[in-house]
Structure 1
């Protein structure tokens, strides 16, 4: 007896409109993967997160159950109909069983000649365990008659996206703090991640001014205003010290005369 495999039927326009309405309502609909799905076992469930352009072929963005990745699939790779449960041997259990009577014609017994001894039938061989069905169809066989999607192989893109998300390293955070005092003293602190690599490094005011001009005009404007205020303060301090020095010299000259 030969078995015939039914080719999965693509989602109808009515079903696609239903999926779009469910997504718009904030209720991603549940779908089940068919034998044509690439990289996902047949019968596994998933939720449709969004719909793309149908002209691209694989326009259904589906998140398989138990996975954090959202993959692209075509309308023949998913169905809204929940598949029937399978028994331990992997055969699909029908919903109802109907018994049909059939007439079987048995062949007439053959009598061996008396002169030829009939050998006893051989002992039955031990029953081998049925091999387990593969968890997922081969990608090449399942997608042999399917045209390539625009922009490269979809299975490769799905696998690359999942691998990149798992291998993407976390960039270290670096914090650079520049501090200034009213006396015109500047210090630099650098924190790399959670470790302070530089603390209280003295920086000349001229270097701060040059760095600000390189970074951005607005930064240069703020730093120049701070430096100008420090200059005015230092000028006033110098004038005060000069006045005190003149008074000290005059007093010394009076004491010497």
Structure 2
């Protein structure tokens, strides 16, 4: 030891009074980091599954039936399934169209009945014209037969 070195002063312990919380510097809060829990297969929680529905799934089928009528009373049907044409230009009777329309709905039947009734009226008119012409032809034929 060197004689010139001053002797170390004994360190006295001092009691430190606690600082009130209001005066303590704020510590930045850090998010709590949790270690992932490792669980056994028996205790691992599984997401809740929905119970399977007992209702049958409804399958939608797209069918397009087009019924076309003329003023003369001729009817045709076209049927398309999805994008595939199944039937095209199938001739059907006015009576079948009327029956089918009644089965479907009263509003449909009313609209189709109007078209059919218009066609009936036109056919009656044409029939009366033809009957009158036939009567003239019969009369002319009778005159020719009487002369013999």
Which of the five TM-score ranges fits, normalised by the shorter chain? 0.5 to 0.7
Runs of at least 5 residues in structure 1 that lack an aligned partner in the other structure: 8-34, 37-137, 144-153, 161-167
* CA–CA distance in structure 2, aligned partners of residues 254 and 179 of structure 1: 46
Matched residue count: 110
Give the root-mean-square deviation of aligned CA atoms.
Answer: 3.5
**Deviation (angstroms), 1:253:** 2.2
The residue matched to 1:200 in structure 2 has which SS? strand
* CA–CA distance in structure 2, aligned partners of residues 177 and 246 of structure 1: 41
Runs of at least 5 residues in structure 2 that lack an aligned partner in the other structure: 1-32
Residue equivalent to 2:87: 198
Runs of at least 4 residues off by over 3 Å? 168-172
Within-5 A mapping of 1:200-219: 200-219=89-108
Residue equivalent to 2:123: 234
Within-5 A mapping of 1:1-257: 6=34, 141-143=44-46, 155-157=48-50, 171-256=60-145, 257=147
Higher fraction of helix: 2
* CA–CA distance in structure 2, aligned partners of residues 210 and 172 of structure 1: 24
* CA–CA distance in structure 2, aligned partners of residues 194 and 187 of structure 1: 19
Distance 1:169 1:234, change over 3 A: closer
Normalized against structure 1, the TM-score is what? 0.37
Normalized against structure 2, the TM-score is what? 0.61
**Deviation (angstroms), 1:184:** 0.8
CA radius of gyration, larger in: 2
**Deviation (angstroms), 1:226:** 0.9
